[in-house]
Amino acid sequence: MAFLEIEGVRKSFGLNAVVQNFDLAVERGEFVSFLGPSGCGKTTTLRMVAGFEAPSTGAIRIDGKDVTRLRPNQRNVGMVFQSYALFPNMTVADNVAFGLKVAKRPVEERRARVEEMLRLIKLPTLADRYPYQLSGGQQQRVALARALAIKPQVLLLDEPLSALDAKIRVSLREEIRGVQRALGITTIYVTHDQEEALSMSDRIVVMNEGRVEQIGTPFDIYNFPRTRFVASFVGTLNILRGRVTDAAGGRIAVDGQEIVAARAIADGQAGELRSVALRPEAVTLEERTDESNRMRGTIEEVSFLGSVVRVRVRFNENAISLDTFNNPNLSPPRRGQPATVSFARQDLLVLEGAEPG
């Protein structure tokens, strides 16, 4: 049995269903991210686990215990908020000790736990500071320590790094992951930042419009997106639309040029429109002579990005972006120049579901 189970959860506000048929089983000690755009239902789902929202239907179980109707203060779940939510009237030490104080733990135990937590977040000397005397990154680390001090069964993080600048975000996400690994605590992390989700998670739940689009490891989500939404939301991806010519052989015609996937097109029928996805790094600006796919087009745009030069090649209705390393000894391609792109059959992903004609 999984440690945290979310089963058939649905949440509606009036007639508006914001989370639909959400099922997830999280193992003990696992780090799972909910990834999706604003309004996709990821925060609402997290808030249902925390107890701040009640599911319209479905059940939530932690370690086998049904917590669906329990109040937040009865769940033993730690929560870290985007806006830190430190109590402004309390020092760092008082903030961290708050949960233990309301649980009426002895003073000595509280003091020891606060010291331990402040060492864990590498702020042992700031116990007497007030939140307004700390930087954003420090405040969020204190918020993490406060959530962990009560030894929660599950740690929930609601976009904890969104309010911080880019450099601190990167270092803090490594710290959060390090602390999570050290304590082995089951964690759910909500983010709209795909890089954060890919770099931190054991598994990612990609959500869109209240539904789960795909659940998988970062490797699977990035390399084998199942739907057009996942393909376009996670990483930069080329989406091409073509007509199936031979489903069993994995053949599709894109703007009159036939390309071949490594696998047969599941549930595909000749003549139907399907989307295929290609990562920019899988495409090269050369004419390979092996079994790779080749497409001929015209260079539409060349963007110099420093170490990388991004080139967009247009065929007819479709276009492909690809990245080439900047080589100072070679002149970059020119706009309007004819070009051939190549990509391996196994890099071509045929997405689920036929497109409307």
Partner 1 sequence: MKGAKIGPWLAVIVGALYFVVPLIATFEFSLRLRRGEYSFEAYRIVLADPQFQATFGYSTVLALATIVVGVLLVVPTAYWIQLRLPRLRPIVEFITLLPLVIPAIVIVFGYLRIYNSSSLIPMTASERATDLLLTFSYVTLALPYMYRAVDTGLRAIDVRTLTEAAESLGASWPAILFRVIFPNVRVAVLSGAFLTFAIVIGEFTMASLLDRPAFGPYLQLIGANRAYEPSALAIIAFVVTWACMGLINLFGGGKTTKAVP
| 76 touches partner 1 (CB under 8 A) | yes
Q: How many residues bind partner 1 (CB under 8 A)?
A: 34
Q: What does the alpha-carbon distance between residue 1 and residue 127 come to, in Å, rounded to a whole number?
A: 40
| 219 touches partner 1 (CB under 8 A) | no
- Amino acid identity for residue 180 in this structure: Q
| 346 touches partner 1 (CB under 8 A) | no
Q: Contacting partner 1 (CB under 8 A), which of 79, 127, 200, 261?
A: 79
* Least spacing, CB of residue 154 vs partner 1, in Å: 11
* Least spacing, CB of residue 331 vs partner 1, in Å: 44
Angle at 76 between CA 74 and CA 77, to 5 degrees: 115
Task: CB nearer to partner 1: give 73 or 346.
Answer: 73
Q: Contacting partner 1 (CB under 8 A), which of 17, 59, 85, 239?
A: 85
In sequence order, the 6+-apart residues with CB closer than 8 A to the CB of 13 are none
Choices 86-94, 252-260, 261-269, 301-309; region in contact with partner 1 by CB under 8 A = 86-94
| 102 touches partner 1 (CB under 8 A) | yes
> Cα Rg for the chain, rounded, in angstroms?
25
Report yes or no: 261 and 252 within 8 Å, Cβ to Cβ: yes
Choices 96-104, 225-233, 306-314, 335-343; region in contact with partner 1 by CB under 8 A = 96-104
Task: CB nearer to partner 1: give 143 or 231.
Answer: 143
Task: CB nearer to partner 1: give 100 or 320.
Answer: 100
How many C-beta neighbours within 10 Å does residue 167 have?
Answer: 9
Q: What does the alpha-carbon distance between residue 255 and residue 141 come to, in Å, rounded to a whole number?
A: 52
- Amino acid identity for residue 89 in this structure: N
The token pair at 263 is: 């696998």
Report yes or no: 24 and 49 within 8 Å, Cβ to Cβ: no
Chain residues 7-66 in contact with partner 1, contact rule CB under 8 A: 50-52
Q: Contacting partner 1 (CB under 8 A), which of 72, 111, 321, 352?
A: 72
Residue 210's alpha-carbon distances to 37, 39, 54, 188, in angstroms, are 10, 8, 15, 17
Q: What does the alpha-carbon distance between residue 7 and residue 279 come to, in Å, rounded to a whole number?
A: 34
Chain residues 246-265 in contact with partner 1, contact rule CB under 8 A: none
Chain residues 103-122 in contact with partner 1, contact rule CB under 8 A: 103
Closest CA to 154 of 35, 62, 82, 65: 62
* Least spacing, CB of residue 131 vs partner 1, in Å: 7
Chain residues 129-188 in contact with partner 1, contact rule CB under 8 A: 130-136, 139, 143, 146-147, 150
Q: For 349, which DSSP code?
A: E
251 — phi, psi (to 5°)?
-100, 135
* Least spacing, CB of residue 184 vs partner 1, in Å: 20
Residues that bind partner 1 (CB under 8 A): 50-52, 71-73, 75-79, 81, 83, 85-89, 98-99, 102-103, 130-136, 139, 143, 146-147, 150
